[in-house]
Structure 1
Amino acid sequence: MAIVSKNMETQEKIISTFEELQQAIYDLKHQLVESELLFNQACNRHIDSNFQKEWLLDRISSRYDRITLRHDVMLLVRDTISAFRDFDGYFLDVKQLIQSIESLMLSHADEEEYEIAAIIKKWHEKFAEAIYFISDFTY
């Protein structure tokens, strides 16, 4: 059985969580594209109906705004985390990394931007779990 250092195992978990974040951003980008197409179709339907389908535009626009917000916040989280990454892809000073995400979350909560703070909190918890995991040593 190979012995893997705690630091290396932590790095693997952080990298995996970072890749999960990257995938979530990628998925949201695709949802944005789909929403833009739906919005264009809704505009055409609205025009074809003699401007009677404004509710459809509002729904699609609202969905687009929610996806955009999530996407932008996740980019902010990614950029914050990337500041702690070295050229080899490893994360340096992981405790400071968690503190930076927490600070970002709290600053948005202080500004009463609770939806943004909630999105950041989700990723703060995921990265904290990756960093402060307890290895399962049961056999």
Structure 2
Amino acid sequence: MALIPKETELQEKLTMIFEDLLLKKENIKKDLVRTRTDFNSACDTHIKSGFKLEQDWLDANLCHRLKFIEYEMYCHIAEVLNDFKDIYGQFPEYIEMHQTLNHIMIQLAQEEKYELAAITKLWVDKIESTIQEYNYC
């Protein structure tokens, strides 16, 4: 039975987290496209109604705007994590990566951008639990 070093297992888990993040980002992008289509449809309906269905248009606009902000946050988190990847696809400075994301989360909370802080916290917690699982924190 071959023994796998803890560092290798940690790197595999961090890679899986990164891949999960990218998958989630792509799913949000699909939702963003859908909300844009819904927004366009609501605009058309609003115009065809003689500008009487304003609330549907406003709701669709808000939904699309919120989804866009969520997508941008996922893009930002992916960029941060990607900055810590080396040419082999590993995360040698994973503690600094965790601290950077944690700092971003705290900064967002201080700016009262709680929804964005919550998104970031999800990924901070996943990274932190993985690091702790392998006793590196």
Say whether the fold is shared (TM-score over 0.5): yes
Give yes or no for contact 2:32–2:67 (8 Å, CA) kept in 1: yes
Write the distance in 2 (CA, Å) between the matches of 1:2 and 1:65. Answer: 51
Regions of 4+ moved over 4 Å: none
* Structure 2 equivalent of residue 102 of structure 1: 102
In the alignment, the residues of structure 1 paired with residue 21 and residue 10 of structure 2 have an alpha-carbon distance, to the nearest angstrom, of 17
Aligned-partner SS, 1:87: coil
The answer on whether the counterparts of 2:11 and 2:90 sit within 8 Å (CA) in structure 1 is yes
Instruction: Give the structure-2-normalised TM-score.
Output: 0.92
> Cα deviations across residues 96-123 of structure 1 (Å, max 9, x unaligned)?
1110110111111222222211111111
Match of 1:85 in 2: 85
User: For 1:35 and 1:107, how far apart are their aligned partners in 2?
Assistant: 28
Please report how far the alpha carbon of residue 134 of structure 1 lies from its aligned counterpart in structure 2 after TM superposition.
5.0
Match of 2:67 in 1: 67
- Equivalent in the alignment of 2:125: 125
Secondary structure of 2:112's partner? coil
Q: Which residue pairs with 2:27 in the alignment? A: 27
**Is contact 1:13-1:131 (8 Å) kept?**
no
Gaps of 5+ in 1: none
Q: Is the 8 A contact 2:106 2:117 kept in 1?
A: yes
How many residue pairs get matched? 135
The farther-off stretch of 67-76 and 14-23 is 67-76
Correspondence for 1:16 = 16
1:98 aligned partner, one-letter code: H
Partners of 2:73 and 2:116 within 8 A in 1: yes
Deviations 1:56-89 (A, max 9, x none): 1111111111211111111111111111100110
